[in-house]
Amino acid sequence: MKLVLKQFLLSTGSLLTGSLLTGSLLTGVACTSENHEGLPVNPSSPSDGDDPTRREVVVTLRNQLSLAKGTKAGEIATVEENKIASLDVYAFGSDTEDGTYTLQERFAYREDPADLPATATPIDLEQPGDGKEASVSLKLQKGLFVKLYAVANQPELVDPTGTIGQGTTVGTTGKVMQDGDFKPLSLTTPGQAGTTVQTPGIPTETEFLTFHSLLLDAATPADVLVSPLPMSGAYTIPLDLTDFESFSRLQAGFKLTRTVARFDVVNNAADSRFTITGISMGNARRGTTFFPAKPFGTTPADPVDLITLPARTFTGQTNANAGVTASAFYSYPSPQADNGYIILEGTYRMNETDPEKTVSYQIPFKQEVNGTGSHIEVNPNHRYTITISKADDYHIDFDLTVADWSDAGDDLDGFEPPVPPTVTFSVTIDQALATAYKSAQSDLTSYPPFNYDGGTVTGTVGSDYKGVSSTAIISTPYTVEVEATQSAATYIYNDSSAKNYCTAKGTGWRLPTEIELFAMWTKCKGTNTNAADDEAASTSLGAKFFGGWYWSSSVYNGNSDHRCLLDFGSGSFGSYFQANPDDCVRCVRDN
């Protein structure tokens, strides 16, 4: 979604006028098949050099990434913004699928191999010629269920409690995790069926999810965020590695998401009379967590958590004061309640013969109507473009656009008006469908067909919508309209991005329940047995689904941190932790 904010601002920060517009871009492709996460591919027996107690998992990073300088970048992210200088993959294992996960093994890649941590297993990143994705092969020890968490370009993590990390003190109680602070679990009978965890690893998954980045210091001029940028991604559907007789290769995939926001500046000093020399941010957060990417500190913020970031030099950057300066500044996420703002410093001169005056303008992320307004949230992996039209000694005129920061496909500066979804087909949820659902998925406790979180607060498990999930009995047959096309982007669930994508379309639009997704897949796939027929069926319906995982609003197994999904490439049922950012969204509304 894009937002546009037009404002007329006094240099002291007072706001005179403002307006806010919203919009969305909708795209789609036809139903396709693909290799799906967790499914075996290329089965084989172990070769002479393979360890039979380990199983290969190929992890695909579904981004346009750069592993070396000079690689061609996308239209939106620069080469450096896509660059992977370091990657750490943390594998967490458990005896049971729903058990306590602790560190099983740490894998690491470094652009300079000399920087590899001593206790991590080295890995190599591979990238095809088109540069669209990178992959890494992990040889994971058999015997447990495993989850994977990846952090790129952030080799140092901070334990906020200081009880696990033994490195430099960060903040009041935090400490940097040292190489030796990561301790892998041990097994009772390694390499044998029935093995269990003998000694848990350190940290636990729960502890790991609280770790955060290093904290920026307002008094340290060098503490400016620059490329390569920190990213994170996870595969949280447990991989079942308990079968010692299986040697097939498993495949998992997810996207890495940047944990920072980017600011572009459009300024032509010849027209605006304002020459920018430095850019900073006030009321900014000092750091971020990774799973999910959220600002470090309390909500609402403690004053000690908010700082004025050190200024980044603007002069000397590409097209500085002569057009579009992309990637002029980066910041960590900033909630609305923080009242953050960009600071532009520089000089103003009305005429060539006038002396230059040193000026500083504050640009808040705020919409104001009739003297009242609210701030806009600064979200990770979003681009904020400030376009300056003119300035004088006391005020500045500017536009502010906000857009998803994808690898390619968006206009850098443009604004698209709202595009309402065109409804081309509908699906009916009746008892025949509910019976088919139960036949396809008998575990109605884990995958409740009618469950709907209803936008309720975290900690609830939702309620059933027009049916009884425990018995797959329809209460009231009904029909839902389905949007014709969808965003090419994937969305995180737990910060409401997935739900917001739907509600932004207008009254009644929402995320589907699991049975509504099943109804869409059933209609899209029909009874066809091959991809070509599925493609034709999809095209005739105007459905144009991706062959990937789709979010539902159904709570998985009563766990408020997980939601049910459906794979439109295979019809498989699954669930993801809400922080997972790599899932599609297709909106519905009651007919």
Report residue 368 as tokens.
Answer: 């104001």
pTM exceeding the 0.85 threshold for the entire prediction: no
Give DSSP secondary structure letters for 76-109: SS-TGGGB-SEEEEEEEEESSTTS--EEEEEEEE
Helices 531-541 + 514-525 axis angle, to 10: 110
Q: Give phi and psi for 353, each to the nearest 5.
A: -85, -10
Question: Which residues have CB under 8 Å from 548's CB, separation 6+?
Answer: 34, 567, 568, 569, 583, 584
Widest distance between CA atoms in the chain: 85
Where in the chain are the domains?
2-13+260-404, 53-258, 423-590
Question: Which residues have CB under 8 Å from 247's CB, separation 6+?
Answer: 43, 44, 45, 46, 50, 52, 55
Instruction: Give Cα separations from 323 to 2, 44, 437, 556, 563 (angstroms).
Output: 21, 56, 56, 49, 44
pLDDT of residue 401: 81
pLDDT of residue 377: 83
Ramachandran category for residue 351: left, alpha or beta (phi over 0 → left; psi -120 to 50 → alpha): beta
The domain made up of 2-13+260-404 is a member of CATH 2.40.160: no
Computed from CA positions of residues 43, 45, 49, 50, in that sequence, does the dihedral angle turn out positive or negative?
Answer: positive
Average pLDDT for consecutive 10-residue bins of the chain (591 residues)? 42 31 29 35 42 87 64 52 91 94 96 93 81 84 94 96 96 95 96 93 96 96 94 90 88 87 93 94 95 88 92 94 94 90 92 84 73 72 89 83 59 34 76 95 94 56 83 91 78 73 76 94 60 40 68 88 85 82 82 75
Report residue 192 as tokens.
Answer: 């044998």
Residue type, 429: I
Instruction: Name the DSSP class of 180.
Output: G
For β-strands 54-61 and 249-254, DSSP reports them as parallel
Asked whether the beta carbons of 434 and 467 are under 8 A apart, the reply is yes
Report d(CA 458, CA 43) in Å as an integer.
41
Question: Which residues have CB under 8 Å from 158's CB, separation 6+?
Answer: 165, 170, 171, 174, 175, 176, 177, 211, 212, 213, 214, 215, 287
Unique residue bearing structure tokens 């901070």: 158
Instruction: Give Cα separations from 36 to 2, 87, 379, 547, 568 (angstroms).
Output: 31, 23, 30, 9, 10
pLDDT of residue 544: 66
271, burial (CB in 10 Å: exposed 0-12, middle 13-18, buried 19+)? exposed
